[in-house]
Structure 1
Amino acid sequence: MTWNIPNILTTIRLLAAPGVAVMFLYFNRPYADWFALVLFVSAAITDWFDGYLARAWKQTTKLGAMLDPIADKAMVVIALMVIVGYSSMSPWLVLPATVILFREVFVSGLREYLGDTAGTLKVTKLAKWKTTTQMIAIAVLFAQGVFEHYFGMSSFGMDDALIIDVLAGAEEDVNGLRWKVTGMVWAGYAGLWLLWLAAALTFITGIDYFNKATPHLKDGE
């Protein structure tokens, strides 16, 4: 095994994946949301750097080729698990998350079954866009959690009528409720739209991989 900088970055990203969930075990919200957001975005950035450096420095290795997709899937799966777990279990969130998780497990199973012929399931450009969209969607949804909890902290002790008056502009917005709820709503909608887009790309690439694998799944071959 070759431990060069691209492989080290990939390993750091792999280790950061469970770290996202750990943030919610040791920190209260919204600090857990902040730490998870920063950790997730930092790890996602390394996804671009390790691939770029490996190609630029001609340091592509079998270790990196193995760890890179594992790290990507671990980040997405664990982050989605955390987001769904701390959500209201809205079907608008659970359904695309389920599609993404099912596809990742399905394709991983295909690769394992194909063994030496798994090279037929090479990562396509659309699959790379899928991963990018997934990571952006998850980052935005973590940001939505930050806005939501700062809004909750700022409105703590206020009755519903006063909150409504503040948001409507009838009362002075001393605690900045309006910009916090605006950020919460827009991040929530943007995150869901991006997650549905990611789910669509995930479904399409999953079908593509299955079609490529089909010739190798016939009995007698």
Structure 2
Amino acid sequence: MKWNLPNILTLLRLVAAPGVAVMFLYFTRPYADWFALVLFVGAAVTDWFDGYLARAWGQETKLGAMLDPIADKAMVVIALMVIVAFSSWSPWLVLPATLILFREVFVSGLREYLGDVAGTLKVTQLAKWKTTLQMIAIAVLFSQGVFEHYLGMSVFGMDQQMIEAILDGEVEDTLGLGWKLAGMEWAGLLGLVLLWVAAVLTAITGFDYLRKALPHLKEPI
């Protein structure tokens, strides 16, 4: 087994996946949100670099081809679990997250059953966009947590009347409540929209994979 830089980057991304959840076990918020966001974005960037470098340097290996989709799925699944857990189980997050998780588990099981045949079912461009969109949506949702908790820290000890007065412009906003609230709301909305779009693409690519696999599933055992 030969290790090269692309494979090492992929392995680091795989290790970073559970690291996102660990951040919330060892750090308080918003520090956990920051660390998780930086770790997730950094790992997501390697998803582009490892494949690019492997092709550019002629270092594509079976190990890398095996680890890459596992690392992608681990990142998305674990990050979604963390986000849903801290969302008070909002149905608007639970539904797309469930669809994404179901597809990833289903396709992984299908690939395992197909064995060597799965290697002939190439990853489509739409599937790559799906993964990219999932990661962007998750990063944006993590950033919402950052805004939310900085806002919470800023209003700590204030009564509701004072908060409303600041947001209405009646009192000078020296703590930046306005932009923190706007950041939280826009990050939440954008992240949610992106996650739903990613969920739709996830369903489409999952159905497409099943359609391509059906002829092989009809073969006698």
Q: Which amino acid aligns with 2:129?
A: W
- Structure 1 distance, partners of 2:93, 2:139, is 14
Query: Deviation of residue 100 (structure 1)?
Result: 0.4
Please list the CA deviations of residues 106-156 of structure 1 after superposition, one character each: whole Å capped at 9, or x if unmatched. 000000000111123321100000000000000000000000000000000
TM-score (structure 2 length as normaliser): 0.98
Query: Deviation of residue 219 (structure 1)?
Result: 5.1
Q: Which amino acid aligns with 1:4?
A: N
Please list the CA deviations of residues 74-102 of structure 1 after superposition, one character each: whole Å capped at 9, or x if unmatched. 00000000000111211111100000000
Q: Which amino acid aligns with 1:103?
A: R
2:218 corresponds to 1:218: yes
Q: Which amino acid aligns with 1:171?
A: V
Question: Which contiguous aligned blocks of 4+ residues in structure 1 show a shift greater than 6 angstroms?
Answer: none
Between stretches 58-67 and 155-164, larger displacement belongs to 155-164
SS of 2:29's equivalent in the other structure is coil
2:199 corresponds to 1:199: yes
SS of 2:75's equivalent in the other structure is helix
5 Å matches for 1:20-169?
20-169=20-169
Any unmatched runs of 5+ in structure 2? none
TM-score (structure 1 length as normaliser): 0.98
Q: Which amino acid aligns with 2:194?
A: L
Verify the 8 A CA contact 1:111 1:121 in the aligned structure 2.
Answer: no
Query: Percent identical across equivalent pairs?
Result: 78
- Structure 2 distance, partners of 1:84, 1:121, is 32
Verify the 8 A CA contact 1:120 1:212 in the aligned structure 2.
Answer: no
- Structure 1 distance, partners of 2:79, 2:117, is 30
Q: Which amino acid aligns with 1:25?
A: L
5 Å matches for 1:166-205?
166-205=166-205
- Structure 1 distance, partners of 2:162, 2:101, is 42
Alignment partner, residue 14 of structure 2: 14
Q: Which amino acid aligns with 2:27?
A: F
Query: Deviation of residue 164 (structure 1)?
Result: 1.2
Query: Deviation of residue 216 (structure 1)?
Result: 1.1
